[in-house]
Amino acid sequence: MAAISPISVSPIPKTLIPTRTQKLPPTTSFRYPKPYSLSISSIRSPKTRAADFSSFSAIVGQDLHSDADESIGLDTLKRFIDINLGCWNGSFYQFDSLGNLTQKVSTKLAVGSYGEDELISLIQTLYIKQPPSSTSCSGDDDEPAWAEYKIKEINLFTVDKYQQIGFFSNERAFALRYQTAGMLETVLRQGVLGEDDSGEESPKNLKLPSRRPSIVCENCLYSQESDLRARAFHIMDPKGILDMLGIFLEERGNGKSFPPSIDISKDKTNRITPFLGKWKGRSVTKRSGVYGSTIAEANTVSLLEINDNDQLVQDISSTSTSGGGDVTTNVHWTGALSGNLATFEGGFQMTLLPGGMYMGYPSDIAKSVAESKSFHLEFCWLESPGKRQRLVRTYDMEGLAVSSTHFSETRV
């Protein structure tokens, strides 16, 4: 029987340098994004597959075929670097599988680049606001302390082996992987415990991510209306069960404005309501990696409703437009809603979050792998009423990321 093998985890790097400063040190070599047009190669039309829930690849995991020249790799990496550059001011939110907020931490992310041509690298420094120490005296220092964490560089030598990026230049979105959850553990330890952290493996009243996660996936969606973005993290434990969910909500700027936040106080209505109804849009699927090219484009129609038996019913129709004639695939799902957790037949779950977001994932990845089935992780952001984006990361039956799909949809 197949099973997910735990990732070999190196010790969490000791890169924390707590400081007390008037302002955060700037990161050099900031360059802001320039507009690009991305050429899309003509590809084969996907084949029709059986459309039960477990084969969601019928919608997003189309035949991984590409005739694209690999010379686009460096250009794609530069575009990815450009879209990330700047100072990002925001917060990290930790949620459990039921959509309950467990922690909120203020963060700042300084992103720069260095090197030229094939040697260009993206460098990121995360600053985490620490709480006052229990040993400090009131009035000692009015300035907050910030812990510093260096995130692994991204360049041509690491992007395929480590990050496995799925990047959408025109749509302004990307998906990538982390080998460990060390960065998220640092955010929680420094943002919740701060200088009072004793290094315990399981601190009281603080849920930390697994030291040996089977999957750490980041799906990032950029606002189409402002310089705002949401970075969503799925962390799956060694057994392939959801460990925790995390959201960074960030705005690019000089750090002087008030950071964006998810207003929990307004979260009084049923979180499923904004997603109900009929949605029409377009999807683009790309292979993972810096050489990832467009492998499928489609027009999509999605209907989500609650029937007379209080069941969730979702129907999705996807019509491929990627050459070779139109091919339409239909998927029908039924499920149940309990609080902010939607569970569909076939073992797929959606955790509804505040702020017009949800995150989807299999209830048991190990079972999908054992049954030789592909699976996917999903992040949806309804930035404004009637308009949403979704990013889906598809994995093969061995648990390897093979493609990412971006959906842009409006309610009709």
- Which has more pLDDT, 61 or 129? 129
Predicted local confidence at residue 260, as pLDDT: 86
- Residue range of the domain that includes 298: 19-35+44-263+270-411
Residue 286 resides in a domain: yes
> Where do we find the tokens 């970075």?
231
When mean pLDDT is compared across 18-32, 65-79, 127-141, the lowest value belongs to 18-32
Question: Is residue 113 a part of any domain in this protein?
Answer: yes
Averaged pLDDT, 254-267: 76
Locate 275 and state its tokens. 């997603």
Residue 245 lies in a domain: yes
Q: What is the pLDDT of residue 400?
A: 85
- Residue pLDDT, tens place only, 65-86: 433 333 348 999 999 999 999 9
Average pLDDT over every residue of 216-233: 96
> The CATH number of the domain where 311 resides is what?
2.40.128.20
Q: Rounded distance, CA 172 to CA 202, Å?
A: 37
Q: Let me know: does 190 contact 131? Beta carbons within 8 Å.
A: no
With beta carbons less than 8 A apart as the criterion, state whether 216 and 235 touch. yes
Per residue in 329-345, pLDDT (tens digit) is 999 999 999 999 999 98
Who wins on pLDDT, 19 or 130? Answer: 130
Average pLDDT over residues 30-52: 33
Whether 9 is covered by a domain: the verdict is no
Please state the domain count of the chain.
1
Mean pLDDT to the nearest integer, 219-242: 95
Residue 3 resides in a domain: no
Residue 257 has pLDDT above 60, yes or no: yes
Q: Please report, in angstroms and rounded to a whole number, the separation of the first and last CA atoms in the chain.
A: 45
| Closest among 181, 189, 196, 198 to 238, alpha carbons compared | 181
Cα distances from 315 to residues 174, 277, 310, in angstroms, run 26, 11, 16
Q: What is the spatial distance between Cα 141 and Cα 17, in angstroms, rounded to a whole number? A: 18
| Other CB atoms within 10 Å distance of the CB of residue 206 | 16
- What would the pLDDT profile of 278-319 be if each residue is shown by its tens digit? 999 999 999 876 556 778 899 999 999 999 999 999 999 999
> Does residue 1 fall inside a structural domain?
no
Q: What is the pLDDT of residue 7?
A: 35
* Domain assignment present for 8: no
Model pLDDT, residue 57:
55
- Nearest in space to 278 (alpha carbons), one of 186, 411, 162: 411
Which residue in 55, 102, 161 sits closest to 396, CA to CA?
A: 55
Residue with tokens 């039956």: 397
Across residues 261-283, what is the average pLDDT?
Answer: 87
pTM of the model: 0.84
d(CA 234, CA 102) in angstroms, rounded, equals 15
* Averaged confidence pLDDT in the chain: 82
Asked if the structure places residue 295 within a domain, the reply is: yes
